[in-house]
Amino acid sequence: MDILHERLAKYTIPQEFMAKGIYPYFREIEGKQGTEVEMGGHKVLMFASNAYTGLTGDERVIEAGVKALRQYGSGCAGSRFLNGTLDIHVELEKELAAFVGKDEALCFATGFTVNSGVIPQLLSRNDYVICDERDHASIVDGRRLAHAKYLKFRHNDMDDLERQLQKCEPGTVRLIVVDGVFSMEGDLANLPKIIELKKKYGATVMVDEAHGIGVFGRQGRGVCDHFGLTDEVDLIMGTFSKSLASIGGFIAADKVIINYLKHHARTYIFSASATPAATACAREALHIIQQEPERIQALWDVTNYALKRFREEGFEIGDTESPIIPLYVRDVEKTFMVTAMAYEEGVFINPVIPPACAAQDTLVRYALMATHTKEQIDRSVDALKRVFKKLDII
């Protein structure tokens, strides 16, 4: 056995949890993702999906993908920079830019490659990237790839953000990057104060709207719109794999920024372009959420109902303000046990452990879709209450 295999063979944590029967990952779903899914030959309630608008199984979205597959084929066999730009890519970019209120947008093959590709290209060695300590892993990787100086502030602590800004040398770019909605805890970035500090210190602001689009703002335009601060945010990032029922991502900004990124972002230039089907599905979902405001209202109706139920039953859910509801466990092994026991009770939820959170903040993540019913929520809350009580968590 060579040195690499010797080193990697020491990693046995998954096998240890498998032996205990509580390994929670790579669970196989046998059909479309809806409010109930087929797993292991029986149905379970799905409260682990990011499909907030409930459009992943919508026949209009599916038909748009099928039509694009027939018209354009299965792939583009090249990057957007060379032979991989289709008219539907350009049309979607124009519609996204208008939707989020920016001059232009660029579509990437995945949301992760937006952040990991855009952030490094905006900064030089003498510049600064300033991140919330709970920013998504794609933002973390983006700032790691940047040659800039890295500064971190405590989660949503605006005094600490100001202290970090005060460390920056004059005449440098100070790029503040935050999630609009924090994907594990469900709370929102304090954008009003961030913009106030941006103006005070001459900073640039980038907001990841992965979990904000389709949920917050007018017609689901996101957290920037929710706060009325779209014009003050310099770059808006979003994904298609959540509310837009597909796969991919985009960055939107003014013409100067987009022109530069179009010719420098390596994950854009050197990655094959998004498939025709994925592009068409995202575009159709974007149309639907604008045409059906009742869908977003339904999402908030079930979200508020679930929040009320969990609070009444004594669950610790933190400061969430979104359809993402963290149910705190605060113990890694118990978090896996909750996930396994919930599945046996017919409820699919996701465990969140380090590095996605601090060791003392482990939780299971419960997420709503517009298509959930109050009856499904009641069944899931009752089941989770039984599990949490058996494990002496509540």
- Locate CATH 3.90.1150.10 in the chain: 12-46+293-390
For 12-59, how does the pLDDT look when each residue is reduced to its tens digit (9 = 90+)?
A: 999 999 999 999 999 999 998 899 999 888 899 999 999 999 999 999
Euclidean distance between CA atoms 353 and 178, whole angstroms:
21
Residue 346: how many other CB atoms lie within 10 Å: 15
* Three-state DSSP state, 358: coil
Is the pLDDT score of 163 beyond 90? yes
What percent of the chain shows pLDDT beyond 90? 96
Q: Which CATH architecture has domain 12-46+293-390?
A: Alpha-Beta Complex (3.90)
For 15-28, how does the pLDDT look when each residue is reduced to its tens digit (9 = 90+)?
A: 999 999 999 999 99
Tokens 């920013």 -> residue? 135
Burial class (CB in 10 A: 0-12, 13-18, 19+), 344: exposed
Cα–Cα nearest to 335, from 320, 319, 352:
352
DSSP for 120-139 reads HHT--TT-EEEEETT--HHH
- Locate CATH 3.40.640.10 in the chain: 59-291
For 312-365, how does the pLDDT look when each residue is reduced to its tens digit (9 = 90+)?
A: 999 999 999 999 999 999 999 999 999 999 999 999 999 999 888 888 899 999
For the 59-291 domain, the top CATH level (class) is alpha beta
Provide the whole-model pTM.
0.96
Cα–Cα nearest to 347, from 327, 362, 321:
327
What percent of the chain shows pLDDT beyond 70? 100
